[in-house]
Homo-oligomer: A and B are copies of this chain.
Amino acid sequence: MISGQKTQESILIKAMYSASKTGFEALSIGKLASAVGMSKSGLFAHFNSKEQLQVDLLKAIAKKFVEVVITPSLKASRGEPRIRAMLKYLLAWADAKFMPGGCLFLTAIVEFDDKPGPARDFLVSNQKLWLNFISEAASLAIVEDHFQKDLDIELFTFEFHSIYQSYHYASRLLNDPLAESRAWIMLDKLLERSRG
């Protein structure tokens, strides 16, 4: 499996797969090297520390999130259609095949929330971008006259995000067959009360 063309990107895809099962801390350069069929020193040429590997991995996950959630959502019309699209793509993200052990952001949040450092810093700034994206979508829904003018956008943002957290919990931990339909009901109710 050792190959000269093995790029950093393909290593990171493998790392995503592993980290979703074991978490970020358990992902050592040694284990990853054997998973991708490279020598430890060969892998060190790509990531010179475990910390660097974690940051690069988070950046790769963020890039994937843009591909899977952000870009397709932007193709939906502004206002409610885009917000519905965001939930649709989020649910697809939660079940993505490259993260068989569950959402890597939720894993990263639990692991890094109490660990100051560059991984946490990147994660926080990236999550803020995501929350801003939700807020922006809500603002556009006001402009489109889908939502009431005095909507509490910040509250909307956290309520929207919590639908995702709730879905992941019900679907992954509880194997709840109603997880998906409940996520849509939660969104319907949130949209309903946002209209005023």
Contacts and interface: CB of A to CB of B under 8 A. Distances in A.
A26 B55 CA distance: 20
Interface in A147-196: 152, 154-155, 158-159, 161-163, 165-166, 169-170, 172-174, 178, 182, 185-186, 189, 193
A166 B159 CA distance: 8
Contacts of A113: 101-102, 172-173
Tier of interface size on chain A: 35 or more
B21 A23 contact: no
Contact of A162 (B109, B128, B162, B173): B162
Given A22-B25, A107-B110, A113-B173, A155 B186 contact: yes
Contacts of A112: 173
19 contacts: A23-B23, A23-B25, A23-B110, A25-B26, A101-B114, A102-B114, A106-B110, A107-B110, A109-B169, A123-B173, A124-B173, A152-B185, A154-B182, A155-B185, A155-B189, A158-B170, A159-B166, A162-B163, A165-B169
Interface of A: 20-23, 25-26, 100-102, 106-107, 109-114, 123-124, 127-128, 152, 154-155, 158-159, 161-163, 165-166, 169-170, 172-174, 178, 182, 185-186, 189, 193
Tell me the dominant secondary structure on chain A's binding face. helix
Contacts of A189: 155, 193
Given A25-B26, A102-B110, A166 B165 contact: yes
The 5 closest A-B pairs by CB, nearest first: A162-B162, A113-B172, A101-B114, A165-B165, A162-B166
Contacts of A23: 23, 25, 110-111
